[in-house]
Every structure is written in C-alpha cells, then in structure tokens.
Amino acid sequence: MAEAEPAKHPKIKPTREENVQKLREMLEVVEALRAPDGCPWDREQTHLTLRPYLLEETYELLEAIESGSTEDISEELGDVLLQVFMHHAIAQEAGEFSIADVAEHVTAKMVHRHPHVFGDVEVAGADQVLANWEGLKNKEQRKQGRISALEGAPRTLPALAWALSLQKRAARVGFDWKDIDGVLDKVAEEAQELSAESDKQRQEEELGDLLFALVNLSRHLRVNPEDALRTSSRRFQKRFEEMEQAARDSGKDVREMTPEELDALWEKAKLEG
C-alpha cells in the first residue's frame, strides 16, 4: 500500500518582527559583499554600472507578474530588492544617503499624499483619491522649483511609456482632448498623413505622430499601451509558433512555403486561439 502524502498546510504568515529580521539579514549580506574583504565584482559596482541590472530585474519581475506564478513573483521581487540594497550600500559608503533615508522619504510622501488615511480628509472613491494625489503632487513639484508640467517624465522609459507619461502630465493642466471622438479623428488624420508621405525621414516623423496619437487613444480608453502591445505580441508569438509546428507536422518548413500556404496556416492558428 502506497504511503499517503503528508497534508499540505498553508504557509504561516510571518510576524512584522520576522519580516524585519529577514530584511536585516539581507542588508547584512549586501554590506558584506561590499566590504573590503567582500566580493571584488560587487565592490566595483556604482550607481551607473548597476543601471542595466535594475532594468533587467524589473522586466523579469513584470514577466513573473504576467505569468501569475506567486513563487516567481516572490523570487523576482527579491532580485529587485537586492538592487535597492546595493544602491543603499554604495550611497552609504560615500556618505550620500542610507536605506533609512530612502524609507523615511517614501514614508513621509505616502503619508502626505494619503490624508484620507492619515488625516481627516474624506473621499468618495478611488477617482477622488487620484485627484487629491495629483493636487498634492503638483504642490510638491512647485515647491521643488519645477517649471514645466512635463518635468518628472523619465526619458529613459520605453517610448510608449514615456509618451503616456508626458500626455498624462499635459492632461493634468487641461491640455487634452474633450472626448474620445477627437482622439479617433487625430489617429485617422495621422494615418492618412503617413500613407501620403514618400520621404523616408518624413515617414519616420509621421509614424511617430501616429504612434503618439495611438497612445493618446489608449489613455482615453484607460488601457496601458505597453500592456496592450505586449499582449498582442504574445498572441502573435503563440500563433506563429503554432503555424511553424503545423508546417513541420506536414513535413514542410515555413521558409519554403508560399505566401498562400502561410496565410492558410495563420488563419488556422487564429481559429485555434
């Protein structure tokens, strides 16, 4: 008789003290890596050299979130947190700031921007929370001496995300389409201008204008353009790979098939999902 598998119990939620202890242990590991007798590679890193790793780890976290695997999300969050702690260690050694300064700054900001939680402000729902958030954020930026409403939109963002960030900031000061019909008209106008252009440089400019208008459309639809494009890209990849497999099953290679044969396989892949 086969031995019964042990019953699976839900993971016990750690206490706040246990969470703090684990973070302390992680911080000690990072500081040991940066110590004089630590890891030569880690000791060579600077804020600038760590940039590509932070970006890479962030995208891996996004992929884990899309996969829905809580185990992968937990692991990738750890890698992102490691980057934060590495920047802390570098800054603390140089006397710039510490993780305590980072935590104090974000804590103060969250308390200030949530007066409905930490103060006596009452809100009717999420929309009012966002409105209050933007108002408080604008006041903070003015105190910091920011002149343009567009300041704070990082140019290092992916192009679609940067365009969305710029448009949101412009909309906060009233520079926006009144309704989605105007946006749709603009998309159609930009598409027509692109189709009528033959000069290569002008085509690039018109294509950029069309993409910018499409980002505006996504914003009015309350759809994140990065998410929408990634979903379409994943769907294309899935269907194309199914098309390739169907070709192999029939003893053919997609590189040797006619456009008509490829179209037939593509339509079949679309019907199958």
What are the residue ranges spanned by the domains of the chain?
Answer: 18-99, 151-223, 227-271
Using CA atoms of 41, 47, 53, 57 in order, give the dihedral in degrees to the nearest 10: 120
pLDDT at position 226 over 80: yes
Cα–Cα distance for residue pair 196/206, rounded to 1 Å: 10
pLDDT at position 6 over 70: no
Q: What tokens appear for 66 in the block?
A: 């899309």
DSSP letter string, 42-81: HHH--TTTTHHHHHHHHHHHHHHHHHT-HHHHHHHHHHHH
Note the pLDDT tens digit of each residue in 239-253. Answer: 999 999 999 999 999
pLDDT for the residue numbered 192: 96
pLDDT for the residue numbered 11: 67
CB-count exposure of residue 89 (10 Å: 0-12, 13-18, 19+): buried
Q: Do domains 18-99 and 151-223 have the same CATH topology?
A: yes
Note the pLDDT tens digit of each residue in 140-189. Answer: 767 776 678 888 788 888 899 999 999 998 988 888 999 999 999 999 99
Note the pLDDT tens digit of each residue in 84-141. Answer: 999 999 999 999 999 999 999 999 999 998 999 999 888 888 888 877 877 777 777 6
Give the CA distances from residue 94 to residues 40, 87, 89, 118, in Å, rounded to whole numbers and listed in that order. 18, 11, 9, 35
CATH class of the domain at 151-223: mainly alpha
For 97, the enclosing helix (H) or strand (E) is: none
The CATH number assigned to the domain with range 18-99 reads 1.10.287.1080
